[in-house]
């Protein structure tokens, strides 16, 4: 295929390295150095997508990050699909495969365009807002149509094969943007030895200089760029990041940079090379040298392919050697816009006319145009474009000096390209990310960065300083300012200079008038990506949306993936006019991170798959795996859930584990229980203040169960704490609650009772905890220790230090199953040894491993609560029937005591925890089921409680449940009902929580 728009010479492309690429299934050729957009234009491709709402054909408009239309899908294979790629920022590589994303069945013949032809009546402004507001049924009708019509690409269906990375950076000065201002700032800072990071979104440093024809000290600007970059590259403390977009400016000078390392190499990237890297930068000072985006003008049919912003035309000609058309009409409100026509003419293509909206322009570039003999039409505007898939002509008319109305006859001109320039909008996005409100500057005709608390400096185009000389000197100034703030010495920087050009004031004009009022004129697009028109904004204003933030939400202006980079200011101007206000009076425009879309890969980095979240394993994990355990996550812990034998169902497995434990002996890996070592002369006093029960008399060598409440009196954790010495206690917590409890203890000690002599440390990981439970547990343990295990010497709630299987152990005779039970704690790395010894000797007792599920069933048979499952932050100890665990005698008003005495905590009819026995013994009530007293009450029924725990108990031969019921403790024997979603109603009787061994004899033997 020929590149019909490619010039024979010029540009920063390598004509000796042709690259093949695919667009919509056809193969084309571009050159090394092209972007996908420049290659598309070189090949004369006009249509790159269909518009979101009206399905109108759209072409490339811009040459950088602000491009709204050329948003393509990339990827040759399913796994490498990348949606949302701006063709203007994608470097071309050999084999690149791209697709337009809007358009069905394809962009050239779009079935949906009939919707657009109806004038968008199906989707007027506020469409989404209105459909969400009005009957839900409407949404279903529209949704599938909208989804099909409005895709901006799709995500891949297969896993991303690439590797992504994150890195933390610290620097003295982060310079954002490597145009003239950024390069000057970076050089100034670097020469003084500052640690500098210079980041730019493009593949090459230089910014606007890369496509400029201006000379610096009589030489091409790019030769100064090269010398500056070479010097920076030679500095030890300078990090140069091309292809790196600073996407977010966050609090305290924290910035994120999205660096693309292989997106321009694709499958030719070295194997294992990171595709993208997210730099997390803490910068002492930031210099924003982000430049400016040119504003297109708003006129009728300004979206027909061939309509572009003027500077993009220059960029394609000068940087890529591509003239994107044959016959140009340029419309401009300012001198700088003329450059496009000058470049077009110099590329030997026809400039049909330069239409200047000003009455009598005479600046340097204007005169250059006249000198070249170009047709300069003043005091006029392009009021309308003709054409559908490509511009075919324009209507030009004279307008009044204010730009409000058409004053003369309309002339038709033939053209295939319309470049427009409405002036420039400083790229203030980053400066507004941290909440700084931009300020309107009448002279700049745009918003400039407002006051900020960040350590931020700005230079060049972002300040509305557009000439090369101004940008360079602002850059040096910012660099010197940063050095002064950093207390670093300044060194001299001698700048090159460009020839001064006389520039006249530009005209403040955004929307071009038409013969017809805006509402009747052919569509005048403001935001291409979301298809917002000037008429749509007028409708929004007429419907009462007066703040620009409301207008934006109502019309969706600025809500595309381009965040309205081209359209926002024009939209504000249209709204301001409709509301008869000034632009700043309608509000400011606030941008949010990220500046351009960031891939999920870059955000995730290596924190995916196996490394998504840290995993915690006990010392016996390998054994569990080898013995077929199913695991469940408890916090970050991998806990054995149950240990099915081949062919066994989960229920069969649980039944077997539960029975084996109560009949003989079972073993649980309880290492994950939180363990906090508490020491100090006041440790005992501290426990008394933090637990609801008494600790003053707990003897050395004894254990006690404790309940912990918040100041509101609600249960928040529980566990057994043992007295290991007069000043030494070991507290256990729930597995998930351990860090929270430790922080809770520290909070009270550090902020409320610092006078107490007490210290806390987490020792969860130091110990392996092996719990053997069941009538044969004593016999089993006695095989591994010489210690006297008789009930007299080692009774219930005792702790002893002894030797088990040859290693030192702390053995706690405590029980969460209600059986004779020992919790053997050994140094973590001895855990596996003792575990295996127990199995060696446990064969004769049918020692059976069980996991968390059987643990739950066994404790529920005894009515033991699990904090966080049977409690939810709204139940106090009395609600749980655990008044026995609340002391009234303690002198100190412990945490939760006053809270429990609040009026609401003392009232009648609170929800209380009770046992529930189904009338049908085999039916297990689903956990979370709501209880009602009257199953025949019409909906909405009066709910009186819910199920917190529910299981089938093989030991008892029927189901058991725990749940809260209003006034439940005084309703023993009454019937409650649990209506289910499927229409069933489960009937249950309120009973004691203790289903098994109500006298507690089994654990005391």
Partner 1 sequence: MFYIYCPHCGEHREEEEFHAKGQAHIVRPIDPAACDDKAWGEYLFFRKNPRGLHHELWIHAAGCRKFFNMTRDTVTYEIKEIYKIGEQPSVVAGNKLAGNK
Contact residues: partner 1, CB under 8 A? 250-254, 282, 434-435, 453, 711-712, 742-743, 746-747, 750-752, 754, 893, 897-899, 901-903
In whole angstroms, how far apart are CA 296 and each of 308, 371, 482, 563? 7, 26, 35, 15
Q: Tell me how far apart the alpha carbons of residues 737 and 707 are, in angstroms, rounded to a whole number.
A: 13
Q: Tell me how far apart the alpha carbons of residues 795 and 782 are, in angstroms, rounded to a whole number.
A: 14
* Strand, helix or coil for residue 836: helix
CB of 435 to partner 1, least distance (A): 7
Q: State which residue, 282 or 390, has the beta carbon closest to partner 1.
A: 282
Q: Tell me how far apart the alpha carbons of residues 187 and 484 are, in angstroms, rounded to a whole number.
A: 15
CB of 600 to partner 1, least distance (A): 19
Q: Tell me how far apart the alpha carbons of residues 212 and 365 are, in angstroms, rounded to a whole number.
A: 14
Q: State which residue, 632 or 712, has the beta carbon closest to partner 1.
A: 712
Q: State which residue, 242 or 710, has the beta carbon closest to partner 1.
A: 710
CB of 710 to partner 1, least distance (A): 9
CB of 885 to partner 1, least distance (A): 19
Q: Which of 206, 205, 202 is nearest to 259 (CA)?
A: 202
Q: State which residue, 254 or 787, has the beta carbon closest to partner 1.
A: 254
CB of 903 to partner 1, least distance (A): 5
CB of 638 to partner 1, least distance (A): 22
CB of 690 to partner 1, least distance (A): 13
CB of 754 to partner 1, least distance (A): 7
Extended beta strands in 320-379, E state: 327-332, 350-356, 376-377
DSSP state of 295: P
CB of 427 to partner 1, least distance (A): 23
DSSP for 845-891, written as a single string: GT-EE--HHHHHHHHHHTT---TTTT--SS--TTTTT-GGG--S--S
Determine contact, residues 235/190, Cβ cutoff 8 Å.
yes
Q: State which residue, 149 or 742, has the beta carbon closest to partner 1.
A: 742
Q: State which residue, 390 or 455, has the beta carbon closest to partner 1.
A: 455
Q: State which residue, 167 or 625, has the beta carbon closest to partner 1.
A: 167
CB of 893 to partner 1, least distance (A): 4
29: number of Cβ within 10 Å: 18
DSSP state of 775: T
Q: Which long-range contacts (CB under 8 A, 24 or more apart) does 650-654 make?
A: 650/853, 651/952, 654/853, 654/854, 654/857, 654/951, 654/952, 654/954
Evaluated on CA atoms 956, 959, 963, 965, the torsion sign reads: negative
Q: State which residue, 656 or 749, has the beta carbon closest to partner 1.
A: 749
Q: Tell me how far apart the alpha carbons of residues 841 and 770 are, in angstroms, rounded to a whole number.
A: 14
Q: Tell me how far apart the alpha carbons of residues 182 and 370 are, in angstroms, rounded to a whole number.
A: 34
User: What is the residue whose two structure tokens read 């009772």?
Assistant: 753
CB of 747 to partner 1, least distance (A): 7
Residues 6+ apart with CB under 8 A from 417: 306, 307, 308, 313, 324, 325, 326, 327, 328, 329, 391
CB of 530 to partner 1, least distance (A): 31
User: Rounded to 10 degrees, what is the CA torsion of 53, 59, 63, 66?
Assistant: -10
Q: State which residue, 253 or 570, has the beta carbon closest to partner 1.
A: 253
CB of 430 to partner 1, least distance (A): 15
CB of 568 to partner 1, least distance (A): 24
Q: State which residue, 195 or 833, has the beta carbon closest to partner 1.
A: 195
User: Rounded to 10 degrees, what is the CA torsion of 359, 360, 363, 367?
Assistant: 110
CB of 172 to partner 1, least distance (A): 15
Q: State which residue, 151 or 710, has the beta carbon closest to partner 1.
A: 710
CB of 452 to partner 1, least distance (A): 9
CB of 870 to partner 1, least distance (A): 24
139: number of Cβ within 10 Å: 13
- Calculate the CA 352 to chain-centre distance: 49
Q: State which residue, 78 or 711, has the beta carbon closest to partner 1.
A: 711
* Pure H helices in 753-806: 777-782
CB of 760 to partner 1, least distance (A): 9
Q: State which residue, 109 or 751, has the beta carbon closest to partner 1.
A: 751
Q: State which residue, 253 or 769, has the beta carbon closest to partner 1.
A: 253
Q: Tell me how far apart the alpha carbons of residues 106 and 115 are, in angstroms, rounded to a whole number.
A: 15
Compute the half-sphere exposure of residue 304: CA atoms within 13 Å on the CB side of its CA. 21
Q: State which residue, 106 or 887, has the beta carbon closest to partner 1.
A: 887
Q: Tell me which H or E stretch contains 32.
A: strand 26-32
Evaluated on CA atoms 946, 950, 956, 957, the torsion sign reads: positive
Q: How many degrees, rounded to 5, is the angle at CA 969 between CA 963 and CA 970?
A: 135
Q: State which residue, 14 or 746, has the beta carbon closest to partner 1.
A: 746
Q: Which of 959, 882, 880, 949 is nearest to 918 (CA)?
A: 959
Determine contact, residues 387/517, Cβ cutoff 8 Å.
no
Residues 6+ apart with CB under 8 A from 149: 52, 55, 102, 104, 112, 115
Q: Specify the length of the chain in residues.
A: 1005
Q: State which residue, 252 or 372, has the beta carbon closest to partner 1.
A: 252
User: Using only C-alpha atoms, what is the Rg of the chain?
Assistant: 37
Element counts in the chain: helices (H) and strands (E): 25, 49
Q: State which residue, 273 or 747, has the beta carbon closest to partner 1.
A: 747
DSSP β-ladder status, 376-377 and 350-356: parallel
């Amino acid at each position: 295929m020929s590149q019909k728009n490619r010039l024979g010479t010029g540009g920063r492309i390598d004509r000796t390295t042709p690259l093949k690429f695919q667009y919509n299934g056809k193969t084309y050729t571009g050159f090394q150095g092209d972007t996908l957009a420049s290659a598309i234009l070189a090949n004369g491709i006009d249509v790159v997508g269909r518009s979101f709402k009206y399905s109108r054909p759209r072409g490339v408009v811009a040459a950088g990050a602000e491009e709204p239309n050329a948003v393509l899908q990339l990827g040759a294979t399913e796994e490498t699909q990348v949606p949302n790629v701006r063709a203007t920022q994608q470097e071309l590589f050999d084999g690149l495969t791209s697709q337009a994303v809007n358009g069905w069945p394809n962009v050239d013949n779009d079935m949906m365009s009939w919707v657009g032809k109806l004038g968008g009546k199906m989707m007027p402004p506020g469409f989404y807002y209105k459909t969400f507001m009005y009957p839900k049924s409407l949404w279903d009708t529209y949704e599938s149509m909208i989804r099909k019509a409005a895709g901006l690409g799709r995500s891949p269906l297969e896993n991303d094969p690439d590797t992504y990375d994150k890195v933390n950076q610290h620097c003295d000065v982060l310079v954002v943007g490597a145009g003239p201002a950024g390069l000057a700032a970076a050089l100034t800072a670097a020469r003084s030895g500052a640690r500098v990071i210079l980041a730019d979104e493009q593949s090459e440093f230089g910014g606007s200089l890369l496509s400029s024809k201006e000379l610096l000290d009589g030489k091409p600007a790019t030769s100064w760029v090269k010398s500056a970059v070479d010097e920076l590259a030679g500095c030890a403390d300078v990090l140069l990041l091309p292809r790196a977009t600073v996407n977010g400016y966050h609090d305290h000078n924290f910035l994120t940079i999205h660096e693309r390392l292989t997106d321009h190499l694709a499958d030719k990237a070295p194997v294992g090379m990171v595709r993208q890297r997210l730099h997390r930068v803490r910068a002492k000072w930031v210099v924003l040298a982000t430049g400016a985006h040119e504003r297109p003008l708003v006129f009728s049919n300004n979206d027909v392919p061939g309509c572009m912003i003027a500077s993009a035309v220059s960029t394609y000609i000068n940087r890529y050697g591509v003239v994107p058309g044959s016959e140009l009409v340029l419309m401009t409100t300012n001198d700088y816009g003329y450059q496009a026509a000058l470049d077009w003419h110099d590329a030997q293509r026809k400039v049909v006319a330069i239409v200047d909206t000003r009455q009598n322009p005479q600046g340097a570039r204007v005169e250059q145009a006249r000198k070249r003999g170009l047709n300069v039409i003043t005091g006029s505007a392009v009021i309308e474009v003709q054409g559908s898939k490509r511009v075919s002509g324009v209507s030009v008319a004279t307008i009044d000096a204010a730009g409000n109305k058409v004053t003369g006859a309309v002339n038709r001109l033939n053209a295939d390209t319309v470049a427009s320039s409405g002036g420039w909008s400083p790229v203030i996005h980053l400066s507004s990310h941290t909440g700084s409100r931009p300020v309107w500057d009448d002279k700049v005709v745009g918003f400039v960065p407002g006051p900020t608390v960040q350590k931020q400096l700005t230079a060049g185009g972002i300040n509305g300083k557009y000439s090369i000389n101004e940008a360079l000197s602002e850059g040096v100034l910012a660099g010197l300012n940063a050095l002064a703030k950093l207390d670093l010495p300044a060194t001299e920087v001698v700048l090159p200079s460009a020839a001064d050009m006389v520039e006249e004031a530009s005209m403040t004009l955004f929307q071009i008038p038409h013969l017809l009022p805006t509402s009747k004129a052919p569509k005048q697009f403001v935001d291409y990506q979301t298809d917002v028109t000037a008429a749509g904004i007028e409708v929004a204003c007429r419907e009462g949306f007066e703040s620009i933030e409301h207008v934006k939400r109502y019309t969706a202006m600025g809500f595309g993936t381009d965040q309205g980079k081209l359209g926002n200011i024009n939209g504000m101007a249209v709204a301001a006019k409709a509301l008869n206000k000034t632009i700043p009076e309608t509000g400011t425009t606030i941008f949010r991170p990220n500046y351009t879309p960031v891939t999920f890969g870059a955000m995730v980095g290596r924190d995916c798959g196996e490394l998504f979240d840290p995993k915690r394993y006990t010392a016996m994990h390998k054994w569990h795996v080898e013995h077929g355990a199913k695991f469940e996550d408890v916090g970050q812990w991998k806990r054995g859930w149950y240990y099915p034998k081949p062919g066994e169902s989960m229920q069969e497995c649980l039944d077997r584990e539960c029975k084996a434990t109560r009949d003989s002996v079972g073993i649980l890996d309880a290492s994950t229980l939180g363990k906090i070592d508490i020491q100090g002369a006041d440790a005992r006093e501290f426990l008394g203040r933090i637990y609801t029960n008494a600790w003053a008399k707990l003897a050395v060598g004894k254990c006690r169960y404790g309940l912990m409440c918040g100041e509101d009196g609600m249960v928040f954790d529980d566990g057994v704490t043992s007295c290991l010495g007069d000043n030494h206690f070991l507290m256990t917590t729930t597995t998930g609650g351990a860090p929270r409890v430790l922080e809770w203890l520290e909070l009270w000690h550090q902020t409320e009772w610092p006078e107490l002599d007490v210290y806390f440390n987490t020792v969860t990981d130091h110990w392996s905890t092996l719990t053997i439970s069941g009538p044969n547990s004593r016999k089993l343990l006695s095989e591994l220790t010489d210690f006297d295990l008789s009930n007299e010497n080692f009774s219930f709630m005792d702790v002893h230090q002894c030797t088990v299987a040859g290693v030192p152990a702390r053995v706690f005779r405590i029980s969460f199953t209600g059986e004779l039970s020992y919790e053997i704690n050994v140094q973590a790395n001895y855990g596996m040894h003792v575990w295996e010894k127990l199995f060696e000797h446990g064969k004769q007792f049918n020692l059976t491993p069980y996991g968390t599920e059987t643990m739950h069933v066994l404790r529920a048979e005894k009515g033991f609560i699990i904090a966080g499952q049977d409690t939810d932050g709204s139940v106090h100890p009395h609600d749980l029937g655990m008044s026995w665990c609340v002391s009234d005698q303690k002198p100190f008003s412990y945490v939760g005591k006053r809270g429990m005495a609040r009026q609401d905590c003392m009232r009648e009819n609170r929800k209380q925890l009770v046992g529930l026995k189904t009338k049908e013994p085999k039916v297990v009530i689903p956990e979370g089921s709501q209880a009602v007293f009257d199953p025949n009450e019409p909906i909405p029924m009066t709910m009186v409680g819910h199920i917190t725990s529910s299981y089938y108990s093989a030991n008892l031969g029927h189901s058991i449940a725990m749940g809260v019921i209003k006034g439940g403790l005084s309703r023993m024997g009454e019937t409650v009902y649990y209506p289910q979603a499927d229409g069933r109603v489960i009937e249950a009787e309120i009973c004691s929580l203790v289903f098994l061994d109500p006298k507690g004899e089994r654990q005391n033997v």
